[in-house]
């Protein structure tokens, strides 16, 4: 279980003023829950994720994972990055085994475990290739395999499919759903796509910007497993309704931030 209590983070901006990146963020993520976080750019959603990952400090509040406070990165959490963050000089196998290597797992075991994950994400033939030889979608499969190789209980995903084309994105979403259905992980998934947030999440956390805070948490009462028929799900009334509602809310946020026009 992830508990975020009264989290606040501010920093001094380029103009010298104080920027409130996060304010009073309270959030509880249940075990094996798939939580998606949606919001306009600058709402602090990536900051929230990196705080949970233990990669950045904050000013106020606490974060607990299964009751113990977060002081830095931990073995129960792993992260998938928007820009993949693969080592360009290392092969697919070496990249997937990287997390295990950092955690001191012996060579034989880490190769074995990495190979199994490479099979899971369907990159068996590409084990000896380097990231530069792979498409964006394949690179993110490597990123996901690397994150799963360390057998985390919490998977933190920072707009993982934001840098791939639409068709690849849909395939990756389906694959992620089936991986999650099989592995039972707690997932916190940042996105700027309403459709993605609804398709994947048990709940959608809607964040607003300046200061970054949670504006609303929207439950997604769509049946699971969802990976088998994503198409039918997307045509269902509930899916359409929740997506439309999220867009209404997001549009309001954008309207508020737009400079006032004359005559209004």
Partner 1 sequence: MSAPAAARRRLPRRRVPAGPISLLAGAIVWELIGHLAGASFFPPLSTVIGRLAGMVTSGEIFASLADSLLNLVLGFAVSLAGGLLVGVAMGRFRKVEAALGVYVYALLTAPSLVFAPIFFSLLGEGRGSIVAVVVMYAMFVMIINTASAIQSVPGHLVEMARSYGASETQILLRVMLPAAAPMIMAGVRLGVGRAVTGMINGEMFIAVVGLGRIVTQAGGRFDGAGVLAILLVIIAVALGAVALVQAVDRKITGWVPQTSRGH
Q: Name the residue nearer to partner 1 (CB basis): 101 or 168.
A: 101
Give yes or no for residue 240 binding partner 1 (CB under 8 A).
no
Structure tokens belonging to residue 247: 């867009």
Give yes or no for residue 151 binding partner 1 (CB under 8 A).
no
DSSP conformational letter for 159:
S
Min CB(250)–partner 1 separation in Å = 27
Which pairing describes strands 186-191 and 34-38: parallel, antiparallel, or unpaired? parallel
- Binder to partner 1 among 57, 59, 87, 225 (CB under 8 A)? 87
| Residue with the two structure tokens 């820009």 | 83
Cα–Cα dist 53/27, whole Å: 15
Q: Name the residue nearer to partner 1 (CB basis): 147 or 250.
A: 147
170 in the Ramachandran plot: left (φ > 0), alpha (ψ -120 to 50) or beta? alpha
- The separation between CA 43 and the C-alpha centre of its own chain, rounded to angstroms, equals 15
| 3-state secondary structure (DSSP) of residue 224 | coil
Min CB(128)–partner 1 separation in Å = 12
Structure tokens belonging to residue 74: 């931990």
Q: For the chain, first and last CA: distance in Å?
A: 47
Min CB(142)–partner 1 separation in Å = 12
- Binder to partner 1 among 101, 151, 168, 178 (CB under 8 A)? 101
Of 7-15, 71-79, 179-187, 198-206: span binding partner 1 (CB under 8 A)? 71-79
Q: Name the residue nearer to partner 1 (CB basis): 75 or 124.
A: 75
Min CB(245)–partner 1 separation in Å = 34
* Contact string (CB under 8 A) for partner 1, positions 36-65, x = contact: -----------------xxx----------
**CB-based contact 229:195 (threshold 8 Å):** no
Please report, as residue ranges, which positions from 12 to 31 form the binding site for partner 1 (by CB under 8 A). Answer: none
| 3-state secondary structure (DSSP) of residue 219 | strand
| Residue with the two structure tokens 């501010």 | 10
**Contact residues for partner 1, defined by CB under 8 A:** 53-55, 73-75, 77-79, 81, 83, 85, 87-90, 98-99, 101-103, 130, 132, 150
């Amino acid at each position: 279980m992830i508990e975020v209590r009264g989290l606040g983070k501010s920093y001094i901006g380029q103009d010298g003023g104080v920027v409130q990146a996060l304010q009073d963020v309270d959030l509880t993520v249940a075990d094996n829950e798939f939580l998606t976080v949606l919001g306009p750019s600058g709402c602090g959603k990536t900051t929230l994720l990196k705080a949970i990952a233990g990669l950045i400090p904050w000013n106020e509040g606490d974060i607990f994972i299964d009751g113990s406070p977060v002081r830095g990165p931990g073995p129960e959490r792993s992260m998938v990055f928007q820009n993949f963050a693969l080592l360009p000089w290392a092969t697919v196998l070496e990249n997937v085994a990287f997390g295990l290597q950092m955690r001191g797992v012996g060579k034989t075991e880490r190769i074995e475990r990495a190979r199994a994950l490479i099979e899971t994400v369907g990159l068996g033939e590409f084990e000896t290739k380097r990231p530069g030889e792979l498409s964006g979608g394949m690179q993110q499969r490597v990123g996901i395999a690397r994150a799963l190789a360390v057998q985390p209980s919490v998977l933190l995903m920072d707009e993982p499919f934001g840098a791939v084309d639409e068709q690849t994105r849909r395939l990756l979403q389906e694959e992620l759903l089936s991986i999650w259905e099989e592995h039972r992980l707690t997932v916190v998934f940042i996105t700027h796509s309403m459709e993605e947030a609804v398709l994947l999440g048990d709940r959608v956390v809607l964040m607003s910007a300046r200061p970054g805070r949670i504006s609303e948490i929207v439950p997604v009462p769509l049946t699971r497993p969802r990976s088998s028929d994503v198409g039918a799900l997307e045509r269902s009334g509930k899916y359409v309704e929740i997506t439309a509602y999220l867009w209404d809310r997001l549009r309001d946020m954008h309207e508020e931030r737009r400079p006032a026009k004359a005559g209004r």
